[in-house]
Structure 1
Amino acid sequence: DYITGYKNILICKMGKNKYILQKMKSAFIVSFTIVFVGLGLNLILSQVVFNGGTNTPFDAEPLKYDSFVMVETFLFEISYTHPLTTNIVYILITAIFAGVLGMMGAALAISIHERKMVYALTFAIWFIPILFKNSSMHIFQPFMEYGFNVVVPVAIWCIVLYILVIITAIIWEKKIVEV
């Protein structure tokens, strides 16, 4: 929109607030839908192919909880006793995070206008929380040994970080950049 000048036309027709809101909505919906449909299709196929997701056609017995040597946490207990519900919840969580990250990328694209910079910043802001000891990957990983005391603070920290980037980029675009 920016390179072709179409952004200015849209802002003049719609107004800057409506333009930004439309871009944020579409970025969230597209990112959320792509991840949700992909992971949902994966879940459906694994339920069909692997007989409910707990065993393979080549295995006579389903997985046994006793065979795990793991720290037992409440989150793991819930995950193990309700695997389908757990997978659906984690698909929703992952899709929501994908939507927020899509919004972050769109907000950066609206305010920065330089593709290489937007890609690099979006990747860096997404990747930095992965590098910590309590990685953001724990948020998306069902059936793990970590409990809510690890997952919830990481999820809150990541969402706050992403939303702060979105708000900062939108404020930058609204207040500083002139059409």
Structure 2
Amino acid sequence: MKKITLLISIALCFTNCKEKTYFKEIVSEKNVNIAMAEFPKDKEGLVINVPFEFNLYFNNFPNIRSVNIYYKKDNHLCSEVDDYLMYDAQTDKMIFTLDNFECPNYPKGIYIIQRKIKISKEDAQKLIKKYNTKTSVENIKSTNDTIPLVSYKKFKEDNPKFIEELRKIPDTITFVIRNGRERKPIYAKARIN
């Protein structure tokens, strides 16, 4: 009987000690695209929009009361809307805050578009020629115009030097989670790969 009690205690300890998974980065199938910069310094200010996607597991934790997100690029805290946009991965609808959701209605996934990755007109045209031959960089006339290239998964495979340059200083994402039972928030942080 003592052995069974000891085994149950050890099993419970391992189950309770297991680290909780709140989110996981995945390689996105969403498209990389070329767009006009929101606040270009010249008439040719272009950006490349790269989606970073995450599966979310907040609905597995019914005690979660609120979730805030902090995204850092090049060791600088980014501002939502000015620096990045967040979307529901299933519906592609823009999300301004995760704090508007409650368990069990959190999105199953999100993706973030970093809005200020500058690209020269020449480099943009090379990518367009490679992935979308039916158009040209000249077709981008306003901030509403975008030229889709290819999925991030394919783009990452084809352009390792670009991705390496993008990751010189790793981006990080932090979810600050408030649990109904605990006074201190939980900081779930990860480097974006």
TM range (shorter): under 0.3
Higher fraction of strand: 2
TM-score, normalization by structure 1: 0.27
Higher fraction of helix: 1
TM-score, normalization by structure 2: 0.26
